Structure 1
Amino acid sequence: MQRTPMEYRYLGRSGLMVSCLSLGGWVTYGGQVGPEVAQACMKAAFDAGINFFDTAEVYSGGQCEIDMGVAIRKFGWKRSDLVISTKIFWGGKGPNDRGLSRKHIIEGTDASLKRLQLDYVDLIYAHRPDPDTPMEEIVRAFNHIINTGKAFYWGTSEWTAQQITEAHLVAQRLNLVGPLMEQPQYNMFHRDRVEKEYLPLYKSFGMGATVWSPLASGLLTGKYNEGVPTDSRLAIEDNAVMKRLRDSLESEDGRIKISKVVKLGEIARDLGCSTAQLALAWCLKNPNLSSVITGASRPSQIEENIKAISIVPLLTDDIVDNIEQILLNKPALEYNFRSS
């Protein structure tokens, strides 16, 4: 069987190229699955051409970083062949173990590098905005991380366009480096920020988007159409986020979304792909995305996800219109997926 070739895109306006599909460890690595499975998934991803691996200091209390670091060492991958990212904000229970103070950004980065067993990460994110820390302190601290060789680029995650703009204006005033990339949630059911709020940022600052939850925590795979499977991440009992997602499926809005997923599945079948591959291809068609971060709890999911790349050319204007008629949530008239 012929393998789907990987596509690489520039990270925003930088010269760094990242795989259009990347592998993230949120919930899964260090939590849902053990280190052996995490290693197998990372190897399958690397062998398939994925070069971008994403983690964070808070994922499974740091265990995700440990497991990813062990995999990198075990397989002896050349460092220049990898793009590794981590995120700083929630580092522990101490008063200075969270937020974006200069102290936590620097100490949190050092702790992450130790867990990853790396001298540097390629990308480092401010995992959330911090209204209690002055923007100048945040910008200076991330520039210190870059200047000391602990990261090459810095970015944000779930910041508003106003906060990102403020960071750039501070950086320009101080002749420092502003945030290159933003990591927001983006999928067929969560569109406004990426498609509308951030529109001016792509051109004004050359921002790249590396999006998470492209399958809406599995909802867009269709596997929750008949309830929650016991082996799914939503079945994890001791995770507050997963509990909220489970509860949301039982709401009226959740039932409406599931009915839309069923209709999307009909389009997917006509295209000869799965609902998940359709949802990933839909994300990949957005020209402002540098990479779509996927999760995987078994290596076979990597192969299935990568097939989505071959579906993108099949998303003609008519197909996109059919999808929009199902979703009924297009946020901005000035943005669309049409080839013209």
Structure 2
Amino acid sequence: MNLQWNDVQQQLKDSLSRLLANEYDFEHRQRYVAAAEGHAPAVWEKLTELGVPAAAIPEAWGGFGGDAVDHMMVSEALGQHLSLEPYHGTVVMGATALALAGSDAQKAALLPRIADGSVQVAWAHDEAVAGRVTVQAVGGTLTGAKPCVLHGASADYLLVTAKTAGDGVGLFLVDGRASGVRRDGYRLIDGTPVADVHLEGAVAEPLPGATGEVLSRILAIGISAACAEMVGAMDATVALTLEYLKTRKQFGKFIGSNQALQHRAVDMLTALEQSRSLSLSLALALAGRNDLAGGDMQAHAAKAYIGQAARQVTQEAIQMHGGIGMTEEYAVGHYLRRVLVLDRLHGDIHYHTRRLEGWQD
């Protein structure tokens, strides 16, 4: 299989890395957390100018025709810098769902606007109790609630999964500012803005192609991007820790000369590289670039392993930094918070482990 970036991907990767290094260092990021928007609209505009939202949107709808590998590449870079930008909900979930399940009219209306950064979409799928869909679709309207929707308070549109007649599950497009929509915004432990979305007879358009198989594929692509973002967070955490071991002195010696700490650092690196391989393998499978099926089982396995590894790496990093690792002013503790949020996104370690166990039964 070809593991090399093509020219367009390499150019995007290099430009994205430079932009994030300049605009999303830790001090800037802390200011974005404190802002009313919960992210940096000026940075989102610059990401749009680079073509980041357009990378994996089909060419017919204003994008560059990329796939899950492009999502992986972008998500890993965003994870390295603790990004608060609405890439995951708008592009990974929103644009993917519209491209795979939307009507031609829905695609024409929204995909070019996602590509040019003029529209943001929130993915309203998770439930208070996993697997129990509480929103009901009746007569072209939706009633019910969705908790903890990423960037749900500011999104222009919501993509909502809801029960349909005969206990089926469909996917519906809702104008975020329509009558019957209430959004209660708050922040997660890492600063990410979310909202509890309440729907009371809100007018909704069904996405006609949202079969069970298509919904599973959308979720697998979302899991792949979340895994890549955790890999990015792990990468940055390992780099911070190795630098600390090389520069921090105790009793007249660099603490990195301690063999026990060297062994712990190697374990962190091993977990990182194994996670990177799993993330890449899943993205390649979803893009049809390797021999693996890229189905639910591989997505469950990758999310369970990478979630556990990311917790291990970030918790170990805090331990090795000592007291400074727990302070608000130092980045390493914020990577743990981000990993905890990403672990919960699209199902946590325990959820995916149980699904794998059920697969084996």
Quick check: TM above 0.5?
no
Q: Give the number of the structure whose residues are more often helix, by fraction.
A: 2
Structure with the larger RCO, 1 or 2 (CA within 8 Å, 6+ apart): 1
Normalized against structure 2, the TM-score is what?
A: 0.29
Larger radius of gyration: 2
